[in-house]
Amino acid sequence: MKTVAELLTAARAGHTAAIARLLSIVENDEPGATEVIRATYPQTGRALKVGFTGPPGAGKSTLVSSLTAAYRKTVPRVAVVAVDPSSPYTGGAILGDRIRMREQYLDTGVFIRSMSNRGQSGGLSRATRRVVSVLDAMGFDVILVETVGVGQQEIDVVRVVDTVCLLTIPGAGDDIQAIKAGIIEIADLLVVNKADRPGADEAVKDLMQMLNLGTPRNDWRTPVIKTSSNTGTGIEDLMGAVQKHREWANQGGEAQRRNADAMRTEIQALMRERVLRELERRMDPQQLEDVVSQVVSKRLDPYGAVDELLGPEAKG
């Protein structure tokens, strides 16, 4: 079995198997995960990272596939990170995105990674940011991140990518009304996908009205773009809008602010993970079972159980 150092050398030389193995180490928090992140973090910050979210059926995978092909005409290497729902039996990804992106598999300049969300809310896996970070360091020019597609709570993507694209489709009036109170607040670009269907213009008008009624979070004017993977409509327009947003974010400081927010969240998450592991390491398993028994028999409440396990100094 190769060491992490050997895997890093092979991955930097472009060996797909080595890249995949490094991502597995990071995703599964295997021994060596810390070494991988420490070795690759200084090389991050170069890739264009774009996220795609929205309700099921909006055509995220198909649009990402079309964009992958389009970006490959302009850059040498594109990576796709597709977060699928967890299997209730194995905990792994169902891999539906890979089926819809099968036409990209013959392109050696494209790397596709499917991830299970492992029950995490927010539309992404806990390790998605770390996986994207490693891909960035491995020299991919563009990284496209697709969320699970479960609804309004898919806001974690804003902490992973530079530009967030929110998709909807013609005829989804109820969906458009539903998103205005939540996920639309993180969208940098609004995309009416499957625009070859009737009602695309009406969907654009609805989104524009929502934008006009809302309170902007900054001076970026969120564009609404029509796209269709079937006809190729709007793919170049979407790429152009992504580039404009990137330039605006870099010039106005939004990119630095967003990165700082993401790093703060990541550091806090790592702190929680480390503290929890340390507590579990120190805890006597029998003590935990004794406390559980007391809670089940109503001799102790859950808050009291935590106090019992952590000690009086942890009471708050």
pTM: predicted TM-score of the whole model, two decimal places: 0.85
> Using CA atoms in the order 97, 101, 106, 111, what is the torsion angle rounded to 10 degrees?
-50
Stated as kind and residue range, the H or E segment containing 263 is helix 254-282
pLDDT at 23: 96
Instruction: Extract the residue ranges of the chain whose pLDDT is less than 50.
Output: 87-93, 96, 118-123, 150-153
Encoded tokens for 172: 């989804």
Dihedral of alpha carbons 149, 155, 161, 164, sign: positive
* CA dist., res. 192 & res. 222, Å (int): 13
Q: Go through the domains of the chain in sequence order and give each one's CATH number.
A: 1-42 (no CATH), 44-252 (3.40.50.300), 264-314 (no CATH)
Of the candidates 147, 84, 85, 136, the one whose C-alpha atom is nearest the C-alpha of residue 111 is: 136
Contacts of 99 (CB under 8 A, 6+ apart): none
Of the candidates 231, 176, 232, the one whose C-alpha atom is nearest the C-alpha of residue 203 is: 176
**73 within 8 A of 142, measured Cβ to Cβ:** no
CA distances from 135 to 112, 131, 153, 208, 268 (A): 11, 6, 25, 35, 22
For the chain, give the number of residues. 316
Buried b (16+ CB within 10 A) or exposed e, 189-228: bbbbbbbeeebbeebbebbeebbeeeeeeeeeebbbbbbb
* CA dist., res. 60 & res. 193, Å (int): 8
